[in-house]
Amino acid sequence: MKDKKCLLIVPYFGKFNNYYQLFLNSIANLQSFDFLIVTDDKRKFINPQNVTCLYMSFEDLKERIAQKMGFSYPLSHPQKLCDYRPVYGEIFDDYVKNYQYWGFCDIDCIYGDLDKLVAPLMEEHYDKIFNLGHLTLIKNDLANNKLYKKFINPQNGESPIFSTEVGMKFDEEYGEYSINRQFVRESKSIYSHQLGADIYTKANRFYLHDYDFQTNKHQLIKEENLFVYSNGKVFNIQVSDDQIVRQEFAYIHLQKRLMTVAIELSSKEYKIIGNRFEPLEIPLNEITTTNYKDIRKQSFTNHYLKLRFKNLKTKIKRYIKHNTK
């Protein structure tokens, strides 16, 4: 009897980011979601009751993966674990057995009211809920949990996903080698509508990034946004037709952003803007068209320049490595 709703599994090796405690706080009061954090970071954090920490080394996890999958694959860096996410139902079968759903998510997020926005979708019995790596849920049954095996030669273990150390985005989007594509091939039921605020990485401002699953194309929405975390909920506040418009999101995803924490880690309400967590000057319901611009005003950030420089260094290293063989 699967009497629990959903277990989200998060392997993470190395030091957690500087706002990891804010991530933990944001999930603390969720009733339908438990979290399994698999990590080698043993620093002390205030872990909510719905969070279980499984401490192990990356090498130990590699052994567990080989044992559960029946084959040993090249896995020299944790980033490649993204391709193993659709296998977590088997890799951690002893942890997911009592749950109706299991899934995976990112920790560079602040989560909102998943109980309100996401939990009802599980009552619709979708085989898969969402299609991107920052939050995905999979119905816990044998067929779904073994779907990844369609990409493995059962005789010798050869796989276009796991036999290479190159990241294949197996966990998201709709490329040729995507678990999403296989769910479609198998006529599985999928909920694809995006409920999270995925922040575009290649801009200083917080623009929303979306993904069109029909055309397999990325979309950028260039609008003025003010994100606020308030007592377990995530809101985007905008001005439209001289009116305050407040949209609730399941989470905000802050991928590749080095955030400054300018608030107390125990804060119940704050704004997320300009690569900073800052105190919200007034209560959420007192934001008006008159004070909106002042509240939304952000400090200078060179996020985009840093990202371009980092990408350039990576390309140079690859070029040198390729041309010195």
Model confidence pLDDT, tens digit, residues 254-269: 998 999 999 999 999 9
- H helix intervals, 70-224: 88-91, 93-96, 114-117, 119-122, 142-145, 179-185
Domain boundaries, the chain: 4-191, 197-305
Burial profile 8-23: b = 16 or more Cβ within 10 angstroms, e = fewer: bbbbbbeebbebbbbb
Q: Give the integer Cα–Cα distance in Å for 256 and 306.
A: 10
Q: Give the long-range contacts of residues 288-294, CB within 8 A, separation 24 or more.
A: 288/244, 289/239, 289/242, 289/243, 289/244, 292/226, 292/237, 292/239, 292/244
DSSP per position, 265-284: TT-SEEEEETTEEEE-SS-G
Q: How would residue 220 be classed by pLDDT, with cut points 50, 70 and 90?
A: confident
pLDDT for position 263: 98
The pLDDT of residue 319 is above 60: no
The single-letter DSSP state of residue 15 is P
Question: Is there a contact between 233 and 285 (Cβ–Cβ < 8 Å)?
Answer: no
Model confidence pLDDT, tens digit, residues 27-46: 999 999 999 999 999 999 99
pLDDT for position 211: 76
The reply to whether the predicted model has a pTM over 0.85 is yes
What is the average pLDDT score of the chain? 91
Q: Around Cβ 55, how many Cβ atoms within 10 Å?
A: 11
- H helix intervals, the chain: 20-27, 58-69, 88-91, 93-96, 114-117, 119-122, 142-145, 179-185, 292-296, 303-323
Model confidence pLDDT, tens digit, residues 74-126: 999 999 999 999 999 999 999 999 999 999 999 999 999 999 999 999 999 99
213 vs 20, which has greater pLDDT? 20
65 vs 204, which has greater pLDDT? 65
Model confidence pLDDT, tens digit, residues 257-307: 999 999 999 999 999 998 999 999 999 999 999 999 999 986 545 544 454
The pLDDT of residue 311 is above 80: no
The pLDDT of residue 142 is above 80: yes
Strands (E), the chain: 4-12, 33-39, 51-55, 99-105, 109-111, 128-132, 135-139, 190-191, 197-198, 208-212, 217-221, 226-230, 233-240, 243-249, 251-253, 260-261, 269-273, 276-279
pLDDT for position 300: 47
Name every residue whose Cβ is closer than 8 Å to that of residue 163 and which is 6 or more positions away in sequence. Answer: 73, 74, 157
pLDDT for position 64: 98
The pLDDT of residue 70 is above 80: yes
205 vs 3, which has greater pLDDT? 205
Q: Around Cβ 7, how many Cβ atoms within 10 Å?
A: 26
Q: How would residue 216 be classed by pLDDT, with cut points 50, 70 and 90?
A: confident
Model confidence pLDDT, tens digit, residues 148-177: 999 999 999 999 999 999 999 999 877 889
CATH says 4-191 is which class?
Answer: alpha beta
pLDDT for position 34: 98
